[in-house]
Amino acid sequence: MKAVVLAAGKGNRMGILSKDMPKVMIKLRGKPVLEWVLQSLVGRFSEVIIVVGYKKEVVMDYFKNDFKGLKIHYVVQDEQLGTAHAVGLVEGFISDRFLLVYGDLYYNPVVINELLSNPCAGVMTVKKVSNPEDYGVVELRNSRVLRILEKVSNPPSNLVNAGIYLLPVEVFHAIKLTRLSSRGEYELTDSIQLLINDGWRFGVVGIDDWFDVGTENRFMQASELSF
């Protein structure tokens, strides 16, 4: 099984922190955020595909083609067309289900073991929050994902998408069928919803020790944590 990390974003919500580098390379507790993500994969995977874009050379020069025995391949997303578009670019590297992680996350790596041991064809991580309207919300039925809603004003639950997935290879077909969202992007959650509507069972794994560090405020909060 291979892992994929999305690391192409500029980080418009990071303010001055991402002025000269991609948001995944901003140092958190002495290391780039992306390094914490890759560390969670060491010993669990032998290969990772990193999707790079904005100032890609900063990422590639830092990690090169190996990180503590983890072989690294790079795929370039020239245009920021959304998470589904980014994932679709790695299709040529993937032949079986795979782990996907958003590169701007800081989390306890034990969740990776829980994902890999889940028997469902697809698995999402979810976290309970007090402000679900700021995130993509996951609605469950019988412990399976029923719907994924992006930043709605009246969310049906307080479970939000934590951005770490185990995905079947069939997601690439769903990506090809995915339409532009109202935000003008191809959203991975829309692709997953197509699979769910087609009868695919997506389970969930809860996570407590997790921070989306995609904004300047969240980054500063995460800087005070240690997992």
| Ordered DSSP codes for 98-138 | EEEEETTEEE-THHHHHHHH--SSEEEEEEE-S-GGGSEEE
| 212 dihedral zone (left: phi>0; alpha: psi -120 to 50; beta) | beta
pLDDT reported for residue 220: 63
The band of 65, judged by pLDDT with boundaries at 50, 70 and 90, is very high
10 Å CB burial of residue 104 (0-12, 13-18, 19+) is buried
Average pLDDT estimate for 142-161: 89
What 13-21 contacts at long range (C-beta under 8 Å, 24+ apart), as own/partner pairs, is 13/214, 13/215, 13/216, 14/214, 14/215, 14/216, 14/219, 15/216, 17/216, 17/219, 20/55, 21/55, 21/58
Average pLDDT estimate for 29-37: 93
Instruction: Report DSSP state, residue 93.
Output: G
Q: Report residue 182: phi and psi, to 5°.
A: -65, -20
Average pLDDT estimate for 158-162: 94
3-state secondary structure of 174: helix
Which CATH class, in words, describes the domain spanning 3-222? alpha beta
Half-sphere exposure of 79 (CA within 13 A, CB side): 5
Residue type, 44: R
pLDDT reported for residue 227: 65
Q: Where are the alpha helices (DSSP H) in 83-226?
A: 83-88, 110-117, 171-177, 188-197, 216-222
pLDDT reported for residue 216: 63
pLDDT reported for residue 213: 78
Between vectors from CA 129 to CA 205 and to CA 200, what angle results, nearest 5°? 35
Average pLDDT estimate for 100-111: 95
Counting residues of the chain whose pLDDT is more than 70, the rounded percentage is: 90
pLDDT reported for residue 222: 62
pLDDT reported for residue 202: 97
- pLDDT higher than 90, residue 223: no
Q: CA 201, CA 203: separation in Å to the nearest integer?
A: 6
The band of 75, judged by pLDDT with boundaries at 50, 70 and 90, is very high
pLDDT reported for residue 150: 81
